[in-house]
Amino acid sequence: MKKIFSLLLVGISSISYSHDIRMAIFEITENDSGLQMNISVDRYYFYESLKNEFEDHATRDFENMAWEYLQSRVAIEVDGNCTAFEITEIEYGEENIYLKGSLNLQLEDIKEVKMTNTCMVDLVEGHDNIMKLKLNDRTRSFRLNSKRTSTIASYND
C-alpha cells in the first residue's frame, strides 16, 4: 500500500507545473557602441507580470508592454548618467524570454553603477533579479529582490 501511495504522489507531483528557480538575469556589458543589456526572464512569470501591470494587455503589442514595464521597474545610473534601455531584439525560448538592447550610453572609464530593480518581486514570491556587470574588464554579480531592490557597484582603481 505504501508503494502504491508513493507512486501516486510521484505521478501527481510530476504532472503539476512548477518553477523551482525564480529569477531574472540582467547582464550589462560594454562594447564599441556603448553599454548593452541582455535580459533573461521566465516566460510564464513575465507574461503574468505584464497581465497584472496592464489592464489592456490582450490588445497591446508585447514589445511596447515589455519596454514600458522595464522602464518602470529598472533604473540604471552610470557615473551620474541615467540610462534608457532600448529593446533591439526579443527571442522567445520554451521557458524564457530574452530581451537585448542598448542602454544608450557610452563612457570611457566607469566609476560607479547605481541599480534599482523591482521586476516581478511584487508578484512572484522569492523572486531574485541578478544584476551581472561585465565592465572595466571585471565581472560582478548582485542579487536584488523584495528585501533589497537597489545597490551600487563601485569601480575604484
pLDDT per residue as tens digits for the range 35-61: 999 999 999 999 999 999 999 999 999
Q: Where are the beta strands (DSSP E) in the chain?
A: 23-31, 34-42, 74-78, 81-82, 86-92, 96-102, 112-117, 128-135, 138-145, 150-154
Indicate whether 30 belongs to any domain.
yes
Q: Is residue 2 part of a domain?
A: no
C-alpha cell at 84: 534608457
Q: Quick one: average pLDDT of 85-105?
A: 96
Domain that holds residue 144: 18-154
Question: In the chain, how many domains are there?
Answer: 1
**How far apart are the C-alpha atoms of 98 and 103, rounded to whole Å?**
16
Q: Is residue 5 part of a domain?
A: no
Q: What is the DSSP letter of 56?
A: T
Res 3 pLDDT > 80 = no
Confidence of residue 20 (pLDDT cuts 50, 70, 90): low
Residue type, 139: T
Name residues whose C-beta falls within 8 Å of residue 106's C-beta, 6 or more positions apart in sequence: 33, 34, 35
Q: Which residues pair with 91 in a beta bridge?
A: 98
| Residue 35 belongs to some domain of the structure | yes
Residue appearing with cell numbers 560582478:
140
Residue 7 has pLDDT above 90, yes or no: no
pLDDT category at 13 given cuts 50, 70, 90 is: very low
Confidence label for 22 from pLDDT (cuts 50, 70 and 90): confident
Q: What's the pLDDT tens digit per position in 97-148? A: 999 999 999 988 899 999 999 999 999 999 999 999 999 999 999 999 999 9
Contact 93, 101 (CB under 8 A): no
Instruction: Tell whether 3 is covered by a domain.
Output: no
Averaged pLDDT for residues 20-37: 91
| pLDDT for position 156 | 83
Q: Is there a domain that residue 133 lies in? A: yes
Record the pTM: 0.85
Residue 115 lies in a domain: yes
Q: Is residue 53 part of a domain?
A: yes
